[in-house]
Structure formats: C-alpha cells, structure tokens
Amino acid sequence: MERKMTDPCMLNVAEMIRQIQRRKLSPVILMESLLKRIDLLELSLQAWVTIDRQRLFQEARCCQEEILKGKIRGPLHGIPIGVKDIFYTSGMKTTGGSKIFENFIPNYDATVVARLKGAGAIVLGKTATTEFAFGDPAPTRNPWNREHTPGGSSSGSAAAVATGMCPAALGSQTGGSVLRPAAYCGIVGFKPTYGRISRYGVFPLSWTLDHVGFLTRSVEDAAILFGILSGQDPADPNTSLEPVPDFKGSLKSSRKPPRIGIVREFYRENSEEQVWKHTAETLNKLKRAGGEVREVKMPASFSAVQDVHRIIMRVEAAAFHEKLFERHRGQYRPKIRELVEIGLLIPGVDYLRAQKIKRLFRREMDKVMEQYDCLLTPATSSAPPKGLSSTGDPWFQVPWSLSGLPSISIPTGLNGEGLPLGIQLVGEAYAEGKLFAAARWCEKALNVHLSPNPN
Amino acid sequence: MERKMTDPCMLNVAEMIRQIQRRKLSPVILMESLLKRIDLLELSLQAWVTIDRQRLFQEARCCQEEILKGKIRGPLHGIPIGVKDIFYTSGMKTTGGSKIFENFIPNYDATVVARLKGAGAIVLGKTATTEFAFGDPAPTRNPWNREHTPGGSSSGSAAAVATGMCPAALGSQTGGSVLRPAAYCGIVGFKPTYGRISRYGVFPLSWTLDHVGFLTRSVEDAAILFGILSGQDPADPNTSLEPVPDFKGSLKSSRKPPRIGIVREFYRENSEEQVWKHTAETLNKLKRAGGEVREVKMPASFSAVQDVHRIIMRVEAAAFHEKLFERHRGQYRPKIRELVEIGLLIPGVDYLRAQKIKRLFRREMDKVMEQYDCLLTPATSSAPPKGLSSTGDPWFQVPWSLSGLPSISIPTGLNGEGLPLGIQLVGEAYAEGKLFAAARWCEKALNVHLSPNPN
C-alpha cells in the first residue's frame, strides 16, 4: 500500500466520487482538508464571499453518517462545490457582487444549485464575482501571481478551484466570464450550448447571452457536472428540449483523434506574440499525436461579432437594471454603471439588428461546424494581465457566447513569467459529448498539469 | 329540379367545393361569374390591384379539363381566392401597397399562396392594401356605402368578399387588419393563434405581432381555409409545432352552447352607444339560444395592452423599413412614415419592457381562457366611419394581436344607417377548433345574413 496519500483537497471530482463511494474517503475528512486549504490561502487570494463553517461540518457529518447507513443521495454525495455569488442559494447570502444586495438572502435555490444539492453535493460557499457579473473587479487575486488578475467575472470560482479550495465551482459567462478566468488560473472552464443549463435563480446580465458554466481541474469533471446540471427547466423558458448527450460514453470515445479547425482570423491579430507562438506549439503537439488540423474559413458575419455582442449586452443589461439603477445609481461601480447608462440610450432598431446578425452568425457557424469535431483558438489574448483594476478582455470568448456554441478551455502551459496559457475548443451546438471527447483527447495528448504554489 | 340557381359568385367556399366536385359547377362558369361581378363593381369599389384575366380563363379551363379526366388537385380545386397584395405571388406583381414596389414581381410564392395553389385554388388576383399594411388607406370603398371606409389594412379583400367578387381572400393582421375590415363590410374575419400560419413571403409590418388571416362569408369557410393553410413551416421560424385541430370535427361539435365570457372592461367605454346596445341585444339572443354568458375579470396587464402594442409595432416596423426608408423616404405616405420615424427613436429598453408585458399578458390570458370557450366583444368601436382618409381604429383587435390568441368576427346586423355591425370572439391558444365551434354556434343562433346591394 502506498503510504503517502494525496491531500484530499487536491483530488478531482471524479476521484472524490470514487473514494467516497468506496468509503476510502470520509466527507468529514474531505471538508476538513478543504477548509484547511481555505484557511491557508483565503487571506491572500480572497476567493470567497460567504463560508458558513458550522453548517459545513454538520452537512459533512450528515453525509458521512448516511454513507455508513448505505445511503448515497446522488453522484456528488458529500462533495463540496463552490458557487459563484450570483446564484441564488436558499437561506444563504447572495450579493451578486453588489453593495445593493449585500444583505440579500434568497428564499429559494437557483435551479442548478437545487440540482447540485439533489445530487448530494454540499455548497461549500459563495465565490467572489465582479459586480453583477460584469467588469468591476472582485478583490480576488491570481494564485499564480498575486499582482495579476484572476480574470472575471467568475474570479473567486477560478482562484478557488485552481488552488484546491474546492474541486469545482459554478460560474457564468455572458462575454468571457468562465473560460477566461479558468485559463488565467490554469484550470478547465466549460460553458454549454445556449439553452442547455437553466439560468433560473441567477442574476441576469444579458439573458440572450448568459450561460451557466463550470470551473474544474479536468475535462472529465466538467463532463460529470454537465451530466448533472444540464437539461430542460420549465422555470427558464430559454432552456431547450434537445436531449442531453451521454457524457460517459463521449469520454470513452475520446481515443479517436479529433478533426480540429484552427481559427486564425481575428485571433491571430489579437493575440500577443507569445500567445500565438505557444498556440502554434500546442497545435504541433496535437498534430504529432494524430490530430487532424485544418484552418477554418470563418463566415462573413464573424467580423460583426464583437459589436453585435456589445449592443445586445448593453440593452439587455440596461433593461434588467433600469429600475434598480434609478433608485441606487450611487451604489453602482463605474463599469456596470456605464454599461447601463449607455444601454438605456440605444435605439430598439439597433438591438433588433444586432439580434438578427446574432441569429445569422449562429446559422453560419452551424454549417461550419459540420466539418469539424471542434474549433481551436488561444483561450485568451494574453496571459493574465498585471494589475487588479481590470479582469482582462473577453474578446476570445465573445463569438461563442454570442453564437451559443459550447466551448471549453484547457491549460496548455506557462509563459516565461510562469503564468498560465491555454486553448479554447468550440463544439457543435447540442453536441457537448463530442466536445468533451475532443477536449479529453487534447488533454491526454498534451499531458499538461498545472498547479500553482501559492503558499 | 329548381330552375332559378343562385349566381355562382355568391356561393360560399364550402358550397363551391361541393358543386365543383360533384360536377354541378364548372370552374369556367364560376370564373366567368366572378369576373362579371368584378366588371360590375370594381370601378366604384376599387378592391383589386392586379387581375390577369387571360391567365385566369386558362387556369379555369385547365381545372375543368382535369375534372373531366377525374383529376382533383385538392379540396379547393378550381376555386378562385383573392390574395392581399402583401403576399408574394410568383410571377405576379406584389406592391405591398407601396409606390416603391409598384413594379416588383417576386420569383416565389408566399408559403400560404403555395399551399392555396397546392390545394387546387386559383389566385384570382391581388387585393388592395394600405401601404405596407399600416394606416395609409387604399382607394377601396365600403360596399355598404361608398362614402365610408371598408377598414384596413385588408381593405380590398374585405370589399371583394362582401360583394361576391371572390368567395374568400387572404388578409393579414398586426393590429386589427383582418377582423376590422371584415366587420365593417359585414363578413367573417378570422386570425389564428400567433405562430399557426406561416408568414414566409409576406411583407412584414411587425413580426412578433403579424398574423395571416382570412376573410370569408361564413365560419365554415374560415375553418376550411384554416385546415389547408395552418401548420408548421421551416421557412418561418415562428411557426409552431403544436398539432392543428380537426376543423371538421370541431364544426360538428358546434351544437353545444358555448361558455361565453363578455369583456366589458375597455370595450364598454370605447364603444359607441349604438354599438354597445347592439352587442347587448346580440348577447341576449345568444342567452336565449342557451349560451352561458358571464362577465370576464380581465388581468392587470390588460390595461397596458394598447401602449405595449404601439411600442413593439413601431420598433419592429422601423427595424424592417430602416434601410428602405433611407433611400425612399419621399415615397412613404404620412402614417407609415411617422411610424418608422418614431420607431427609429425608441430605446431598446422600452422595446424589451413591452415584450415582457406582452408575454405576461399572454400568460395571464391563457389562465383566463381556461374558464371559457370564447370571449365576446363588439368587433369594432363603431360602424364603418365616414370618409376615406382613415381606415378606422384597431383598438378592439389589438389585445388579441398582441396576445396571439385566435379570434374571429361575425356579422350581427345593421345599424340605423344600414351599416354593418359585428361581434368578435376570442379563443384559447392553439384551440382554433373550439373557437370555430363556438363561432358556428353563434352564427346559427343569430342567423344574420348580410349582403350589400352595391350596384
């Protein structure tokens, strides 16, 4: 028997599931390990807004007792998960990163939170978010270098998962808010097809662009959460009735090298030199492993994507915030305030034109995707930028938040300064299984494992 | 054998079907009768924009020959139907009532036109419409009194059907453009549930409000057209997959008195005195025939309906016309010009708020409709107004164009000046069969048959 065991806090979700259900790991020990990790790092990283320690030990003990009685609530039994502070949690503060809601305690759970709990998971706590999931930074720092941003808006979720404070966390993406912080922190970020996961009980930013996503340390973990959280929800009329693919089957099919489309247009000219060089090296590794790589011809509508995204986000954010903004203008921080102020002025015809181009782009991308298992781009235009006044740019995620195609980022290495870089893979609509298979294949082919040493 | 036959032009669609298929009526004789009627009346009524006589005789002869060979193309074999001039007709001018399109000849048919032809119908010609189906009047006159408006925007369709120039015609309704002209001309007007009939190949006015509808001389004829024209169309993404009810079955079930909800709120105060009095008398007749009449408690959102409708229509009309308007501003008539000019200025947040209230009103009405087979209101606020500078007000139809609930108007009598009055019945979403049954029951109970004498 191996003597030295990995500290439980550093296990992936898949491994936690195995060890807990085989009674090799107690939920109480796991909880202690995670809270110890949080004690060690939270002061300098500031990933969390709310952690209710007393309740956590109670819940972990309860899970442990159930296991001893042979009772397993669901696949995530006893596994603590971080929840971005824009998801409603019944009886637990939900601030949306805003002063206005600093004492707001919802009396119901967001659908995804309810599904997590239903699967046996424990809500470890609420992770820091930018204000209303837009651009005004959370206090969170990047675990690879505290003077750099962890990205946003799912800042706390990214930093917490990267450092073993929790194995996985919920995030949300309207522009680049799941995959960018994941890439900046060296972990996996995933968002599904638009309409695949319910946004009921989540502070909206822009409802035709908002996606719920997750931050994990492996593709397999993202697939596990997808299996639990996806599917139609009557409470969110935008969720789709499309059947959810079998994620286990899809991971097994990950032995076949994928047909990868590299997107050079826009991404080449907007990537820092080191980023593009690193991406080219990564592509070479994937080719050597057998990946079939071709350059993608992007459709005409691609050139309008950033502008169209901005118009839709501004108008819908303004529509949601309008009344609140009238009463609490002074409590809005500058970036979200400007978003709402400009959004209030944009004519409806501009909004409708933007929505029309959005639909066109999706239709054109649906056709492009017929030829590939996934598209590949650098995950971000640069490594995590220095400074905490900005959370970086969302440009590289925007086309997929706009089109609603599923996307996943995986870490691919460190730059010269020891900061993480990654790639973003984009899949066909409603075919998340195929995307997970491609991402798992790349993950294995690249065999990069990043873990910051933030002590 | 009865010697004196009704002039074929005055037969209903149902009777034409019977007589043609039993070889009692030749499509050529029918065509001659209709064209003779047009010759007699068109100069003073101006219901038509385009009639291609040569083609019509050819087509009628062709239908006749097919019958002699035992070939029937479909239920409408050999029956001429009028088509409002905003529906694309392949190879036939489609002006949209606008000077800009005075020479426009589409190279494909609107889906409903293609379905008419597929069912064997002959497109008799294009009927006059207000400019782009909004408020600038067509030259058409009311067959009951030429100094009065026939209503709009389906002006020509209403006048033509009322006078036996065609047995039925296509119309469209964004505000009140099918049921109002039908009521003003003393015939039946029907619009289905929103999303039930394809708008592909139809000039849009406001795509979340636009409905295709028909003008006929009986409820049965409306049901026949509904059976032929309704159903999902991939070319119009707003068409619904909801199954289409069996209209024949529904007409058979029309023996049972319906549960009628009378809507007093808004309608009472906006009806002319004679209209409300006439409606009360009509209600009494229905009660005496066994109808169960209760007053409806309307939901809170009902009070916002007219404003919400106006905002959505303005913004969507402006979005559709924007580019055309830049190039051809001088060719827009005053009402549609003002609509576009104001629509261009309305902020997106107002549009989104309006759409939100629209959805709320529909949800609230869906609940109300659980208690009734149909709602009943006067069809219009007044008899057809004097003068040709306005087509009357669409207020009484607006709530149902906005909510998307199906509605039908039937004539109920004449006012003191010999001008037609009618009632409007509103049904449950996707339950047009139930609405037809209720309307057929009312039609029989009232037993009112109006026919203008416009010679």
CATH number of the domain bearing residue B22: 3.90.1300.10
Q: What angle do CA A118, A120, A125 make, to 5 degrees?
A: 95
Domain that holds residue B160: 8-301+357-446
A204 Cβ contact partners less than 8 Å away, ≥ 6 residues apart: A210, A316, A320
pLDDT for position B250: 73
Does residue B442 fall inside a structural domain?
Answer: yes
| Residue A214 shares a structural domain with residue A170 | yes
A366 close contact with B: CB closer than 8 A? no
B372: in domain: yes
CB atoms within 10 A of CB B288: 9
Same domain as A190, residue A339: no
A187-215 pLDDT tens trace: 999 999 999 999 999 999 999 999 999 99
Does A319 contact B345 at a Cβ distance shorter than 8 Å?
A: no
Contacts of B348 in chain A (CB under 8 A): 315, 318-319, 343, 346-348, 350-352
Query: Contact at 8 Å (CB) between A231 and A217?
Result: no
Mean pLDDT in residue range B344-350: 97
Q: Does B324 touch chain A (CB under 8 A)?
A: no
In a domain, A451, yes or no: no
The predicted model gives B418-432 an average pLDDT of 97
Decide if pLDDT at A23 tops 50.
yes
Residue labelled with tokens 């470890």:
A124
Instruction: Give the pLDDT score at A455.
Output: 62
Please state the domain count of chain B.
Answer: 1
Question: Could B344 and A346 be called an inter-chain contact, meaning their C-beta atoms sit closer than 8 Å?
Answer: no
> Is residue B255, in this structure, part of any structural domain at all?
yes
Q: Are residues A319 and A206 in the same domain?
A: no
All residues at 6 or more sequence positions from A152 whose CB lies less than 8 Å from its CB, including other chains: A129, A130, A135, A137, A138, A177, A180, A181, A391, A392
- Let me know whether A240 and A347 are in one domain: no
Q: What is the pLDDT of residue A334?
A: 97
pLDDT of residue A250: 73
CB contact under 8 A, A348 and B353: no
Please state, in angstroms and rounded to a whole number, the distance separating the CA atoms of residues B196 and B111: 12
When pLDDT is averaged across residues A270-287 and rounded to a whole number, the result is: 98
Contact criterion met (CB < 8 Å) for B343 and A343: no
The residue written with tokens 């691919």 in the block is A412
Structural domain contains residue A455: no
DSSP class of residue A100? G
Domain closes at, from A340, A356, A372: A356
Q: Are residues A351 and A373 in the same domain?
A: no
A345: closest chain B residue by CA? B347
pLDDT at B454: 67
In a domain, B328, yes or no: no
Parallel, antiparallel, or unpaired: how do β-strands A211-216 and A188-191 relate? antiparallel
Evaluate if residue B1 carries a pLDDT over 80: no
Active site residues of B: 84, 153, 177
- Same-domain status, A431 and A340: no
| Cβ pairs A/B, distance under 8 A | 50
A382 and A413 within one domain: yes
Dump pLDDT digits (tens) for A313-330. Answer: 999 999 999 999 999 999
Q: Could you give the residue ranges of the DSSP H alpha helices within B289-431?
A: 305-328, 334-343, 348-369, 398-403
For residue B340, what is the nearest residue in chain A, using CA coordinates? A349
H-helix segments, B344-425:
348-369, 398-403
pLDDT digits (tens, 9 = 90+) for A371-419: 999 999 999 999 999 999 999 999 999 999 999 999 999 999 999 999 9
Based on the fold, state whether residues A350 and A296 are members of the same structural domain: no
B311 within domain boundaries: no
- Where does the pLDDT of residue A454 fall: very low under 50, low under 70, confident under 90, or very high at 90 and above? low
Domain boundary at A356, A377, A395, which?
Answer: A356
Per DSSP, the residues of A39-52 read: HHHHHHH--EEE--
- What is the predicted pLDDT for the residue at A254? 74
Q: Are residues A363 and A328 in the same domain?
A: no
User: Whole-model pTM?
Assistant: 0.91
Whole-number Å distance between alpha carbons of A92 and A51: 9
Q: How many CB atoms lie within 10 A of CB A445?
A: 18
Percent of chain B with pLDDT strictly greater than 70 = 98
**Which of helix, strand or coil describes residue B188?**
strand
Task: Give the confidence band of B182 by pLDDT, cuts at 50, 70, 90.
Answer: very high
**Residue at A454 is within a domain:** no
Within 10 Å of residue B236's Cβ, how many Cβ atoms? 20
Mean pLDDT in residue range B331-350? 97
- pLDDT score recorded for residue B322: 96
**In Å, how far is A318's CA from the nearest CA of chain B?**
7
Same domain membership, residue A363 and residue A349:
no
Q: Which of A158, A217, A162, A167 is nearest to A188 (CA)?
A: A217
Across the interface, whether the CB atoms of B343 and A350 are under 8 A apart is answered no
> A388 and A346: one domain?
no
- Write the pLDDT tens digit of every residue in B76-88: 999 999 999 999 9
Do A346 and A363 belong together in one domain?
no
The reply to whether ipTM tops 0.90 is no
